[in-house]
């Protein structure tokens, strides 16, 4: 009798642990650029591991923003991929990475950063509350426009370029990253 109760208790415990393990893994961060993203690491600590964000990491380093984006936050970063940077006119990235263009690079990069921790569900709620388009003021002084179609968020920059969020809600210790397919530009 005691062994039957012990076996039943172990079975319940195993199911509970298995369910907890499955639940914790079902809410895990998405993979980005072939790398696991960890919610207990900062935006910079995770971004450096993404093979899809080497250009962004180089730009953040050249702009002197590593310390800022490693800070407490909270930040929402719309993180363009290498392919997004490749869509810019030839030579643009190389020119922006030159020390004499640091101010312009800082302006562009900080127009991808919002001083808040905004997950996609919250962004969609703000879009709905504003009748279909939500203005998004950035750290860089730009105002982006957020919209969505279905479950895909789109961000329009001040030049009229539209970036699509391709991977949403990558939780970080100091905010959230939303991967985008287009570099956002301030009005020049």
- Convert the pLDDT of each residue in 76-133 to its tens digit: 999 999 999 999 999 999 999 999 999 999 999 999 999 999 999 999 999 999 999 9
Backbone phi, psi, residue 29, to 5°? -60, 150
Please name the helix (run of DSSP H) or strand (run of DSSP E) that holds residue 86, with its range, or none.
Answer: helix 82-86
Picking from 56, 157, 174, 73, the residue whose alpha carbon sits closest to that of residue 115 is: 73
Judged against a pLDDT cut of 80, whether residue 38 lies above it is answered with yes
Give the DSSP per-residue string, 117-149: ---HHHHHHHHHHTTT-EEEE-TTS-EEEEEEE
Q: Give the chain's domains with CATH numbers.
A: 29-180 (2.30.180.10)
Percentages helix, strand, coil for the chain, rounded to the nearest 5?
A: 40, 25, 35
Query: Of all residues in the chain, what percent carry a pLDDT higher than 70?
Result: 86
Does residue 3 register a pLDDT over 80?
A: no
Over the stretch 48-92, which tens digit does the pLDDT of each residue have? 999 999 999 999 999 999 999 999 999 999 999 999 999 999 999
CA 89: distance to chain centroid? 24
pLDDT band (50, 70, 90) for residue 27: low
């Amino acid at each position: 009798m005691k062994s039957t109760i012990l076996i039943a208790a172990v079975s319940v415990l195993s199911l509970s642990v298995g369910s907890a393990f499955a639940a914790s893994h079902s809410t895990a961060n998405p993979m980005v650029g072939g790398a696991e993203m960890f919610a207990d690491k900062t935006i910079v600590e995770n971004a450096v591991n993404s093979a899809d964000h080497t250009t962004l990491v180089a730009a953040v380093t050249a702009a002197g923003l590593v310390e800022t984006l490693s800070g407490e936050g909270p930040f929402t970063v719309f993180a363009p991929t290498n392919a997004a940077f490749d869509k810019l006119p030839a030579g643009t990235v190389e020119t922006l990475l030159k020390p004499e263009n640091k101010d312009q690079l800082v302006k562009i990069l900080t127009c991808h950063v919002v001083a808040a921790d905004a997950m996609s569900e919250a962004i969609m709620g703000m879009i709905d509350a504003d009748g279909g388009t939500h203005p998004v003021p950035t750290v860089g002084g730009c105002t982006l426009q957020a919209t969505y179609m279905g479950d895909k968020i789109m961000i329009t920059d001040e030049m009229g370029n539209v970036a699509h969020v391709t991977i949403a809600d990558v939780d970080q210790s100091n905010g959230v990253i939303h991967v985008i397919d287009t570099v956002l530009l301030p009005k020049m």
